[in-house]
Amino acid sequence: MNYIGSKYKLSDFIKTSVQETVSGALKNKVFCDLFAGTGIVGRSFKTSVKQVISNDLEYYSYALNRNYIGNYLPLEASEYITELNLLEGKKGFVYKNYCNGGASERLYFSNDNGRKIDAARIQIAHWKEVGEINEDMYYFLLASLLESADKVANTASVYGAYLKELKKTAQKEIEIISANFEITENQHQVYNQDSNVLINNIEGDVLYLDPPYNARQYGANYHMLNTIAKYDTFVPAGKTGLRPYERSNYCKKGEVALTFEELIRNSKFNYIFLSYNNEGLMTEKEIRQIMKRYGRYDLVTTSYQRFKADKTENRNHKATKTTEYLHILEK
C-alpha cells in the first residue's frame, strides 16, 4: 500500500537502531508501535520480540494490524478467498456513492470493482454474523479486501480526491489477495484508541512513535479505506464523499508540542524511539528539549526518497530526498 509516512524503506534503519540501543535480547522485550499506520514497523519486530502492542486511531489501520499483528496462529483461509473472488457484484454502498454509475458520479473505483468490493464486504460481514468465521478470520479477510481494493483505486495514491478518468491500474479487475501474516508463539495486542489515552494503560520495554508530521489528516486522506472497513451508514460529504473523521492534535501547530510532551511524560517504557522528519511541525530542537527532560537523549538520522504521488499522473516528480530523524530517549 502506497502510504504517507510509510516506514517500509526505513524499517531496516529503525530495527538496527533499536538493536544497537536497547540492552538485553529483543526476544524478551515488549515492543509498542503506538501510531501503527499499515503496521510496517510492528510487523518487522513481530518475530523478534516477546510481544508487539500495536495501535492506531484510524479504523482501517486497526483492521490491518488486527490481522498482521493480532493474528499469530495459522488460518485456513484459501476457500474463503476463492469464494470472495467468485462473487457476483452487488450495488451496495461503495458502488452507489463512490463509482460513476451510482448517483454521486464519483470515480474512486470502476463500476465493476465497486460492485465487487460491495459484494465481498457484505459477504465477510455475513459470515461473521452467522458464526461461520471467528474474529481472526474476519480481520484476515477484511485486511485482504482493503489492500486489494487499494490496488485498484482511481486516485493519485491518497483518497483526498479521485481522478477524472480511470487510470490503467483502476481498470483492472480486482483480485482479492490473501493478507498473509507472520506466525509466532506469543500473543500480541492491537488497539484502536487515541495514543495519548492508551499510553496510560500500557507498559513495556520499547516504545516506537511515528505520529503525523504535518497538517495532513489521515482520516481525510484515507477516508475510503475507513468506509470499506467500517461499512457503516452515513451521508458522504462534498465532491469527494468524505466521512466524519477525528482531527489529530499532532497535525496542529499550536497543539503538537504539548500533546507530544504529555505522551512522553506518561509513557511507561524504558526506551522511546521517535521517527520525525525535517519537514515536520515540531523542529528538531523542540523535540530534543522535550525528550531531554525525561532521560538520556540521542539522535540518529538517515536520508531517503520522500513520498510521491502516483507516477502515472501528470505531476512534477522530483527525486527529493528527505532527512528522517530518529530521536532516542532512555527514561
Confidence class for position 2, pLDDT limits 50, 70, 90: confident
Among 268, 276, 264, 320, smallest CA distance to 301 is for 276
At 288, list the grid cell: 530534543
The 10s digit of each residue's pLDDT in 59-83 is: 999 999 999 999 999 999 999 999 9
At 295, list the grid cell: 532521560
Within the chain, all domains assigned CATH 3.40.50.150 are found at: 1-58+189-212+255-331
**Average predicted confidence (pLDDT) for the chain:** 93
The secondary structure of residue 28, as a DSSP letter, is G
Say if residue 287's pLDDT is above 50: yes
The predicted pLDDT at position 305 comes to: 64
In 123-229, beta strands by DSSP E: 189-191, 204-209
Predicted TM-score (pTM) of this structure: 0.93
The predicted pLDDT at position 32 comes to: 98
Say if residue 316's pLDDT is above 50: no
At 291, list the grid cell: 525528550
The 10s digit of each residue's pLDDT in 98-148 is: 999 998 989 999 999 999 999 999 999 999 999 999 999 999 999 999 999
Strand order in the sheet with 189-191: 189-191, 51-55, 30-33, 204-209, 269-277, 321-330, 296-305
Q: What CATH number was assigned to the domain covering residues 1-58+189-212+255-331?
A: 3.40.50.150
Q: Measured between alpha carbons, how far apart are the two ends of the chain, in Å? A: 34
Kindly provide the b/e burial profile for residues 314-323, where b requires at least 16 CB atoms within 10 angstroms of the residue's own CB. Answer: eeeeeeeeee
Among 229, 267, 255, smallest CA distance to 125 is for 229
Neighbours of 41 (CB within 10 A): 27
- Average of pLDDT values for 35-48? 97
In 47-124, beta strands by DSSP E: 51-55
The predicted pLDDT at position 306 comes to: 57
Neighbours of 244 (CB within 10 A): 10
The residue among 170 and 218 whose pLDDT is bigger is 170
